[in-house]
Amino acid sequence: MTNPNQHFFDLLAAQPGESLPWLQALRIRGNTSFAETGLPTIKREEWKFTRMEPLENTAYVLATDEHTTQNVDLIPSAFDTNRLAARLVFVNGGYRDDLSHNSNLPNGVFCGSLRSAVAAGAAWVQDALEQSDNGLENPMISLNTAALRDGFAIFVPRGVVVDGVVEVVSLNGGTNASLAVFPRNVIVLEQNAQAFVTVHENGLGDTQCFADSVSNIQLTQNASLSLAVLGEQGSHATSFYANLVQQSRDSRFNSFNLSLGGGISRTEQHISLEGEGAECRLDGIYLMRGEQHCDHTTRVDHRVPHTTSNEMFKGVLDDRARAVFQGKIVVHPDAQQTDGQMLNKTILLGDGAEIDSKPELEIYADDVKCAHGATSGQLDETALFYLRTRGIPEHLARGLLVQSFVGEVVDRIADTELRDYVLSRIMDWLSGNASNAGEQA
């Protein structure tokens, strides 16, 4: 393709108009800033290590309602159905009412599609979307803002605790054309509200597609959100996923991210800690093989005193897989008594595997406790030998060590059912890995 930027401009132009003036204004804003930046290139410092190459040479087709009606055989789930407060299924960016339910919700909670929330004229949706990408010069977020069609929307009013799990399933692809989808999600938790949301990012068959997803998350005083995103897209998928989180006083945000799928994937977390006592925890596990590439980019802004952030990302890379971790903790002036911790550890199994890690601290207050660490290396040979002397075959021993390596992150998942699910996915990955390792040896 000659000019991929032009291609995306054309895609945006094909976007149906919106009757709502504020939404129209938002799109124009996204359009304008994307027109300024164009697609990310490795010349931009924050995109130095990740090149979304398929975007440069694939003629993507904008996903429309027609692609939403696609047949679906299997809907992944991590939970016993009895525990589900709601299930929201999206196919190629559109909401599938027939596959979704939201019958188990407490009063006043909204849990459905962004479209229906917008149609209902919910003020919280507009608020959340409008604050969204302010000040972020981020081509992928601008592109999403310009092209947004639908996504999930969750609102929990003051004092309400959602007991069950909200499980969101996003299935993309499954068509001959290379689809581009732009899901936009909103989660708003009012004071003392609490929710647990799990998002599956999966493919419908392993077809070429591009998903550019953005979630606007607002946590008011003492609200608490646990959000797990499980990425198991097909190997021809290119994906970008960003959480834009604003946290008020005493709010808690616990995020877990599992990256197993995708050809090229990038997950960004932008956390703004704006009230004293706000806490966030960002955890992630990435297991990549073949030619897979995944990127975890986080930025935590400590804007006021007494805020806490804690990040732990661990990954295992086999074959020629490549992973990128870019973490940035920014402590603003006067944000005293900040506690910021960041850890990134990677094991390289394959000879062609590569990790690029950039854990960054930017600090303008003096009474802070910030630390980061990063390591990369291979499995502990002594431990491997030890296990083998006890009769455990090498591939099993390797599996055990990988499991124990990422186990530290798995243990931080509070929900036991989700923890078990994640463990089983890791085991599945390992069994695939064992056969790969066998081929190599």
Residue 199: Cβ within 10 Å count: 23
At closest approach, how far in Å is the CB of 242 from other proteins? Answer: 22
Residue 36 near residue 62, CB atoms below 8 Å: no
Query: Looking at beta carbons only, is 184 or 322 nearer to other proteins?
Result: 322
At closest approach, how far in Å is the CB of 16 from other proteins? Answer: 41
Query: Looking at beta carbons only, is 276 or 354 nearer to other proteins?
Result: 354
Query: Looking at beta carbons only, is 220 or 376 nearer to other proteins?
Result: 376
Query: Looking at beta carbons only, is 122 or 342 nearer to other proteins?
Result: 342
How many whole angstroms from its chain centre is CA 6? 27
Q: What are phi and psi of 160, to 5 degrees?
A: -90, 130
At closest approach, how far in Å is the CB of 237 from other proteins? Answer: 25
At closest approach, how far in Å is the CB of 328 from other proteins? Answer: 9
Query: Looking at beta carbons only, is 61 or 363 nearer to other proteins?
Result: 363
How many whole angstroms from its chain centre is CA 83? 23
At closest approach, how far in Å is the CB of 323 from other proteins? Answer: 10
Q: What is the DSSP string of 95-112?
A: E-GGG-B--SPPTT-EEE
Q: Which residues of 206-219 are buried (b: 16+ CB within 10 A; e: fewer)?
A: ebbbbbbbbbbbbb
CA dihedral 232, 240, 373, 416 (to 10 degrees): -40
Task: Name the site residues for other proteins (rule: CB under 8 A).
Answer: 45, 333-334, 336, 346, 348-378
Residue 362: Cβ within 10 Å count: 12
Helix extents (H) in 80-192? 114-119, 123-131, 139-147
Query: Looking at beta carbons only, is 263 or 350 nearer to other proteins?
Result: 350
At closest approach, how far in Å is the CB of 372 from other proteins? Answer: 5
